[in-house]
Structure 1
Amino acid sequence: MTVTATIEALGHKGEGVVTIDGSKVFVPFALPGEVVDIDVAGDRGTLRSLTTASPSRIDAFCPHFGTCGGCQLQHMDAESYAAFKIGLVETPLRHAGIDARVEKFITAHGAGRRRATLHARRDAAGYMRLRSHDLLDLDACPILVPELKRAPAIARALGAAIGDCDVSFTATNAGIDVAIRNAPKGVRAEKLVPLANALGLARLALDREMILLRQQPSVTMGRSDVDLPIGSFLQATAEAEAVLADYVLEAVGKSKSVADLFCGIGPFALRLAQVAPVYAADSDRAGIAALEKAVRHTKGLKAVTAKARDLFRDPLTRFELAFETVVLDPPRAGAQAQVKEIALSKVKHVVMVACDPKTFARDAEHLVQAGFRLSGLIAVDQFAYSTHVELAATFRR
């Protein structure tokens, strides 16, 4: 069914929303106020033509936009884009009964994303097409750092050698770090060694097992160089990591004891240890080992106690939380179990970084109900032109 309609709002996935016959229909790449012709199938609409364009509409800079499923928001001007991302942060908080406003929206795209995962086939490599399991063969992705310019060609070469797989890339101090996942069974690792050498990779891993190491991939965090374990977490852009670390350092202030929970490989712990002793914990054992090694090789740091601990199943208890300040940077699932223990403890100061506004709002609600006040809320846009946003806030009893 093809209809002409006026877009009423923008949904949380960046799609235009219109009501047709009493039901909401979601239309990618349409903006509020636009008059559009759309093909409707259930609650999905496909934009066919634009009769009246929004003043907020701009031309996308990537020729693949609209076909590639990687970006959703290249057609929005800067003001509308920022308002949308801020809304992603504020709306779940409002639903949780917390009246908090984003005090600062920070664009942290930097030189581009230093991490990406491409899908590879025998004859193609790229991202999936919009609303599809079909692969879009890419020549380049303009939102990646220049160091990953070769990523599509590398993924294509690996796909040609072994068949369907996912190829993750990280730009590091040593060059390109590559990890292959979901490869066909029976792939012979030794077959990949000459190819990895020919491609000039710093490291190649297959299903988290190292195949080739030409040079140890590392990243710089504060004054430290940290060896990057296979599969460990790293912020999408170097600029976002720096912005978030600066926020954490300022929010922690002159605290004399700090716990950095969900610490990863130490982007906050290594910087915090320049001014205060730090207890750091994360379930990533390889990440903790990398953090400990970086501490040993960095001069002038205060004591860092690093522990491998599953903070979902085994959070620090209220009796263990003898710190002036707790820093939290959980994955998308949030920090519910740990937050419940913090609420019952004597901790008076919490600094939280989050990548999922909904789980952040859930955890923030628990802290507020325990007597904390939220302040200093910021939104950090490192996931350029997507519907994801990073955020940070400070809580004090």
Structure 2
Amino acid sequence: MTITATIESLGQKGEGIVTLEGRKVFVPFALPGETGTLDVDGERGRMTSLSTVSPHRAEPFCPYFGSCGGCQLQHMDAASYAQFKTGLVETPLRQLGIDAKVERFVLAHGAGRRRATLHARKDAAGYMRIRSHDLLDIATCPILVPALKRTPDIARALGAAIGECDVSFTATNTGIDVAIRNAPKGLRAEKLVPLANTLGLARLAVDREMILLRQQPSVTMGNSEVDLPIGSFLQATAEAETVLADYVLEAVGRPKSVADLFCGIGPFALRLAQVAPVYAADSDRAGIVALDKAVRHTRGLKTVTAKTRDLFRDPLTRFELTFETLVLDPPRAGAQAQIKEIALSKCRHVVMVACDPKTFARDAEHLVQAGFRLEKLIAVDQFAWSNHIEVAATFRR
């Protein structure tokens, strides 16, 4: 069906919304106030021509924008972009009765993303096309750090060698760390060693099994050098890690004791240990080992007690939460089980970082109901031109 319509608002994924016969139609790359011709198929629409263009429309900088399913927001100017991103944080809180405003919106793209996953085939490599399982072959990705400029070529070379797979890249201090996932069954991974050497990779892993190690991938965190385990979590940009760590350090102050829960490989724990003893816990055993090694090789730190613990199934109980301050940085699922114990504990100061505004809002609601006050809410934009946003906030009883 072809219609002429005006975009009314933006959805949570950054798509324009048109109401048609009482139902919503979602139109990618469209802005509120724009009028044009739409091809409509169910709840999906495609703008084929514009008769009224929004003053907030910007010129995308990537030649693949509009075809690639990676970035959704390059057509927005800075003001509307910031408004959309802060709305992603404030709306879920408001829906749960928490009237909190983002005090600071921080652009934290820095030099670009230091992590990326490309899909590879025998003859192509890139991201999936928008609303499709078809692969878009790309020559470059301008949102990545310069050190990852070769990633499409590397992914194509690996795809040509083994066929369809997913290839994850991380830029590290010692070179490019590559992990292949969903490799073809029966693959003799050792045959990739000569190719990995030719490509100059620091490390190559296939389905979490190390195939080649030329140089141990490492990253700098505060005053520490941390060996990066295969598959361990790392913030998407170095700039965002710094911004979030600075926020955490300022919010924590100088406590007598602090717990860093969901600590990963220690981006907060290693910095916090410069001012206070730290208890650090995470379910990632390899990450805890890496953190413990970094602590042993860093001078001037207070005691860091690093433990492997599944905080979803086995959260610290209210009786164990005797720390002056708690820092949490849970994955996308949030920290529901741990938050319930914090609410029942005597803890009076919590600093939380989150990558999903909805689960953050759910966990924040539980703390607020337990007598905490939400303060210093910030939005940190490391997932530039996407519909994702990082959140940080402080809670005090």
Q: TM-score range by the shorter chain?
A: over 0.9
Task: Please give the alpha-carbon distance, in whole angstroms, between the structure 1 residues aligned to 2:50 and 2:116.
Answer: 32
Gaps of 5+ in 1: none
Task: Please give the alpha-carbon distance, in whole angstroms, between the structure 1 residues aligned to 2:394 and 2:370.
Answer: 14
Task: Please give the alpha-carbon distance, in whole angstroms, between the structure 2 residues aligned to 1:121 and 1:66.
Answer: 22
Q: CA deviation at 1:15?
A: 0.1
The aligned length equals 397
Aligned pairs (5 A) from 1:271-310: 271-310=271-310
RMSD, aligned CA: 0.3
Q: CA deviation at 1:86?
A: 0.1
Task: Please give the alpha-carbon distance, in whole angstroms, between the structure 1 residues aligned to 2:218 and 2:362.
Answer: 35
Match of 1:387 in 2: 387
- Specify the SS of the correspondent of 1:4: strand
Aligned pairs (5 A) from 1:64-83: 64-83=64-83
Give the TM-score normalised by the residue count of structure 1: 1.00
Q: CA deviation at 1:52?
A: 0.6
Match of 1:324 in 2: 324
Task: Please give the alpha-carbon distance, in whole angstroms, between the structure 1 residues aligned to 2:179 and 2:188.
Answer: 15
Task: Please give the alpha-carbon distance, in whole angstroms, between the structure 1 residues aligned to 2:269 and 2:351.
Answer: 13
Task: Please give the alpha-carbon distance, in whole angstroms, between the structure 2 residues aligned to 1:168 and 1:286.
Answer: 18
Task: Give the AA of the match of 1:205.
Answer: A
Task: Please give the alpha-carbon distance, in whole angstroms, between the structure 2 residues aligned to 1:377 and 1:140.
Answer: 35
Aligned pairs (5 A) from 1:58-69: 58-69=58-69
Task: Please give the alpha-carbon distance, in whole angstroms, between the structure 1 residues aligned to 2:234 and 2:36.
Answer: 40
Task: Please give the alpha-carbon distance, in whole angstroms, between the structure 2 residues aligned to 1:110 and 1:384.
Answer: 10
Task: Please give the alpha-carbon distance, in whole angstroms, between the structure 2 residues aligned to 1:148 and 1:386.
Answer: 19
Task: Give the AA of the match of 1:344.
Answer: L
Match of 2:254 in 1: 254
Q: CA deviation at 1:21?
A: 1.6
Whether 1:223 and 2:207 are equivalent positions in the alignment is no
Q: CA deviation at 1:23?
A: 1.0
Runs of 4+ in 1 over 2 A off after TM superposition: none
Match of 1:17 in 2: 17
Whether 1:191 and 2:197 are equivalent positions in the alignment is no
Match of 1:236 in 2: 236
Task: Give the AA of the match of 2:21.
Answer: D
Task: Give the AA of the match of 1:353.
Answer: V
Match of 1:115 in 2: 115
Aligned pairs (5 A) from 1:29-44: 29-44=29-44
Give per-residue Cα distances to partners, 1:136-180, cap 9 Å, x unaligned. 000000000000000000000000000000000000000000000
Q: CA deviation at 1:36?
A: 1.5
Gaps of 5+ in 2: none
Task: Please give the alpha-carbon distance, in whole angstroms, between the structure 1 residues aligned to 2:372 and 2:21.
Answer: 45
Give per-residue Cα distances to partners, 1:228-251, cap 9 Å, x unaligned. 000000000000000000000000
Task: Please give the alpha-carbon distance, in whole angstroms, between the structure 2 residues aligned to 1:236 and 1:58.
Answer: 25
Give the TM-score normalised by the residue count of structure 2: 1.00
Whether 1:53 and 2:49 are equivalent positions in the alignment is no
Task: Please give the alpha-carbon distance, in whole angstroms, between the structure 2 residues aligned to 1:181 and 1:238.
Answer: 24
Task: Please give the alpha-carbon distance, in whole angstroms, between the structure 2 residues aligned to 1:382 and 1:312.
Answer: 26
Match of 1:105 in 2: 105
Match of 1:84 in 2: 84
Task: Give the AA of the match of 2:392.
Answer: A
Aligned pairs (5 A) from 1:368-383: 368-383=368-383
Q: CA deviation at 1:299?
A: 0.3
Give per-residue Cα distances to partners, 1:326-377, cap 9 Å, x unaligned. 0000000000000000000000000000000000000000000000000000
Q: CA deviation at 1:325?
A: 0.3
Match of 1:169 in 2: 169
Task: Please give the alpha-carbon distance, in whole angstroms, between the structure 1 residues aligned to 2:384 and 2:143.
Answer: 7
- Specify the SS of the correspondent of 1:247: helix
Match of 1:2 in 2: 2
- Specify the SS of the correspondent of 2:243: helix
Q: CA deviation at 1:71?
A: 0.2
Task: Please give the alpha-carbon distance, in whole angstroms, between the structure 2 residues aligned to 1:295 and 1:372.
Answer: 32
Give per-residue Cα distances to partners, 1:193-222, cap 9 Å, x unaligned. 000000000000000000000000000000
Task: Give the AA of the match of 1:47.
Answer: M
Task: Give the AA of the match of 2:373.
Answer: R
